[in-house]
Amino acid sequence: MKIVIDARFTRIDHHDGISRYGASLIAAVARLSEVTMLISDKRQLALLPDVPYQLIRSPLSPLELFVARSVNTLAPDVVFCPMQTMGSWGRKYALVLTLHDLIYYEHPAPPGFLPAPVRLLWRLYHKAYWPQRVLLNRADMVATISRTTESLIAKYRLTRRPVRIIGNAPQGDRVPRSPDSVPDKTLIYMGSFMPYKNVETMIRGMEALPGFTLHLLSRVTPHRRAELEAVIPAGASVVFHNGVSDQEYDDLLLKATALVTLSRAEGYGLPLVEAMALGTPVIASDTPIFREVGGSAVSYVPAGSAAEFAAAVRALEDPLVWADCSRASVRQAETFNWDRSARELISIATELADRGANSAA
């Protein structure tokens, strides 16, 4: 069985969520089965595992509708795409498309790195559900990463195809710190600074947390940074890192009191899993997806309450409370595993290949 995985959504400098998901899944599948990946820029190879690849056009090309012509030459049995936008006309293979979440229907602002014409189409695409249905129904099977999204797919009747979960997981083998260690009085936020991420509430909460420092790790535009700096309370300690390496991220997590996020909406919440895998407690807003990801290990607070956020941080100043949360975090993180996700993808591929689901779309 020949499996091809679309890696054209891999970034060329640093991973985002989709990029990391695809690269990690390829690496896990390659340990169990023959796999070929599709790329559109050789610079992507720096962030991808060392497996066979085929260079084809960008997924942002107007000719994406006809990408199957290129993929057909590889004679794959099954093609897996970590997005739902892969062209399918004329394909001669089984196709699995992925819908990670529906967050952009609620918050339709597109990622800033996309070209202007693509950003316009992005907004139009998320004005209605029917374009999503057209794309997903052209696959043989649809994958998603959470029960929360699976239920939303059913709620909005987004596809007639079977839906299976190929879960997300932390990258690499993370060794958790001892629950008896003494954390620094630091708080870590890893995520974008879009308005729905609600970073302002965390910053305001720092007024009630003297001695603590809030580290904002992700890259931020000068304009957005100025907006956030304007709400920092007098005397509060907030540090903008404007991007960190994976090693710097882990080093900060291994010393911190907690990873924090008060996002009002979220597609998944991978930083929660990454922190928990290192034994770092998590404080998060009370949303369905965070409940799914964090289980009973996370301290949940209302997204709009700076006071309750600060109270949750102060509760972790008790060494016994912190140690219990650290242990619970590690146990919860162990429920996420790339090997399990890879085996699920291979199971799907085997099922599709066995039933001969390779009719041309």
Angle between the N-to-C axes of helices 17-30 and 338-354, in degrees from 0 to 180, rounded to the nearest 10? 70
174 in a structural domain = no
Is residue 242 domain-resident?
A: yes
Q: Residue 45 falls within a domain, yes or no?
A: yes
Domain co-membership, 19 together with 163: yes
Q: 146 and 24 in one domain?
A: yes
Q: Does residue 126 lie within any of the structural domains?
A: yes
Tens of pLDDT, residues 25-47: 999 999 999 999 999 999 999 99
Residues 212 and 262 in one domain: yes
Task: Give the integer Cα–Cα distance in Å for 146 and 329.
Answer: 19
Tell me, yes or no, whether 179 lies in a domain.
Answer: no
pLDDT at residue 361, as a whole number: 43
Q: Measuring CA to CA, which residue among 303, 207, 211 is closest to residue 260?
A: 303
Residues 113 and 208 in one domain: no
347 and 298 in a common domain: no
With respect to residue 281, please indicate whether it lies within any of the assigned structural domains: yes
CA distance 277 to 88: 37
What CATH number does the domain containing 306 carry? Answer: 3.40.50.2000
Q: pLDDT tens, 249-266?
A: 999 999 999 999 999 988
Q: Give a yes or no: residue 7 inside a domain.
A: yes
The model's pLDDT over 129-171, given as tens digits with 9 standing for 90+, comes to 888 899 999 999 999 999 999 999 999 999 999 999 999 998 7
| Same-domain check for residues 143 and 220 | no
- Is 283 part of a structural domain of the chain? yes
| Count of CB atoms situated within 10 Å of the CB of 326 | 24
Full domain range(s) for residue 195:
186-333
- Judge if 325 and 341 occupy the same domain: no
